[in-house]
């Protein structure tokens, strides 16, 4: 536990987005009556704006979540994830850029939204209700991204007025809880690495399979970052990274893999050996 307490933190990313949808009770009741259905048989949710307008904004949020998940490990049920201290500066920079990107995309979207409201009566027909459309400032306020961190709890942080025996029992329970959470986080990392190695190996083993750049990039990135993600200082993970670095080097250039069948077969063989070597872990 002391290793985790000193090398990682619990990180949170909370993001909200306006969906552009509005439930219409009147149209819902009309539809269910016309279809001779029960009142709760269906719900009509109107799409107030062209959904394509929201895609650039929501893409920024989705990318931030993906970047967060790649640089952290599962931890608590409240959404907190274990982030290595070594990853914090990198992700903070990513988050700050995402905030800037979100503001830029919102500037574009809000301009388009104003025009959508003007055209809404024609687009929505008899379903149009002006009160369905929030003000531009209200819509903008519904998009947000927050990033914050908390320390990993330590048994030394626990102070209440209980007998020594009870305090020690609670501290022991906390130590066991942190140990289990740490174990789950590291198991998740091992699983992620193993699945990526096997996925790339399977693609390389099939000479007719087309490669997705993202699959190769994901494997290269996670192997390169294993030292940072290895918050429990697992010696087996350190060894895996060492053994894998020479194997993934040719994968840094997907064009080589696509066009050089000899290198492709060699990389597939090396990845299989790597997967077999660490399969028990």
Q: What is the pLDDT of residues 226-267, one digit of tens each?
A: 999 998 888 999 999 999 888 888 777 777 777 778 888 888
* pLDDT for position 1: 44
Q: β-strand 45-47 against 73-74: which pairing, if any?
A: unpaired
pLDDT digits 0-9 by tens, 68-127:
999 999 998 899 999 999 999 999 999 999 999 999 999 999 999 999 999 999 999 999
pLDDT, average across residues 36-49: 94
> Between these two residues, 275 and 160, which has the higher pLDDT value?
275
CA-based radius of gyration for the chain: 25
Highest mean pLDDT among 58-72, 162-176, 259-273: 58-72
Higher pLDDT, 177 or 59: 59
Cα distances (angstroms) measured from residue 79 to each of 11, 28, 158: 9, 35, 23
**Residue 144's CB: how many other CB atoms inside 10 A?**
13
What is the reported pLDDT for 207?
A: 73
- Has residue 129 got a pLDDT over 90? yes
Four-point Cα dihedral 2, 93, 97, 192, nearest 10:
-50
Angle, alpha carbons 219-100-142 (nearest 5°)? 100
Helices (H), 136-234: 136-141, 164-205, 213-224, 226-229
C-beta atoms surrounding 148 within 10 Å: 11
**Percent of the chain residues past pLDDT 70, beyond the cut:** 92
Residue with the larger pLDDT of the pair 252 and 56: 56
Looking at the chain, the whole-number percentage of residues with pLDDT higher than 90 is 59
pLDDT for 278 equals: 83
Among 39, 41, 45, CA closest to 23: 45
CB-CB contact of 145 with 98 (8 Å): yes
**Weakest mean pLDDT among 57-71, 186-200, 202-216:** 202-216
CA distance 81 to 9: 8
**Cα 138 from chain centre:** 27
């Amino acid at each position: 536990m002391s290793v985790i307490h000193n090398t990682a933190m619990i990180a949170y990313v909370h993001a909200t987005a306006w969906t552009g949808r509005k439930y219409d009770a009147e149209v819902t009741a009309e539809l269910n009556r016309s279809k001779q259905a029960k009142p709760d048989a269906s719900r009509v949710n109107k799409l107030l704006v062209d959904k394509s307008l929201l895609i650039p904004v929501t893409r920024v949020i989705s990318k931030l979540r993906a970047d967060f998940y790649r640089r952290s490990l599962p931890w608590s049920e409240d959404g907190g994830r274990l982030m290595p201290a070594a990853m914090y500066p990198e992700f903070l920079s990513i988050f700050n850029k995402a905030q800037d990107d979100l503001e830029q995309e919102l500037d574009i979207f809000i301009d388009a939204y104003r025009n959508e409201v003007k055209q809404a009566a024609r687009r929505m027909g008899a379903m149009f209700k002006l009160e369905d459309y929030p003000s531009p400032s209200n819509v903008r306020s519904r998009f947000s991204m927050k990033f914050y961190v908390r320390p990993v709890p330590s048994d030394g942080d626990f102070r209440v007025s209980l007998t020594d025996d009870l305090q020690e029992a609670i501290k022991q329970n906390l130590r066991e809880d942190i140990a289990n959470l740490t174990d789950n986080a590291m198991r998740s990392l091992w699983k992620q690495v193993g699945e990526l190695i096997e996925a790339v190996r399977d693609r390389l083993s099939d000479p007719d399979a087309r490669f997705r750049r993202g699959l190769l990039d994901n494997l290269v990135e996670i192997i390169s970052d294993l030292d940072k993600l290895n918050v429990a200082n697992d010696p087996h993970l350190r060894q895996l990274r060492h053994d894998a670095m020479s194997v993934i080097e040719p994968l840094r250039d997907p064009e080589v893999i696509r066009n050089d069948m000899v290198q492709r077969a060699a990389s597939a063989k090396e990845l299989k050996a790597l997967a077999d070597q660490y399969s028990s872990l």
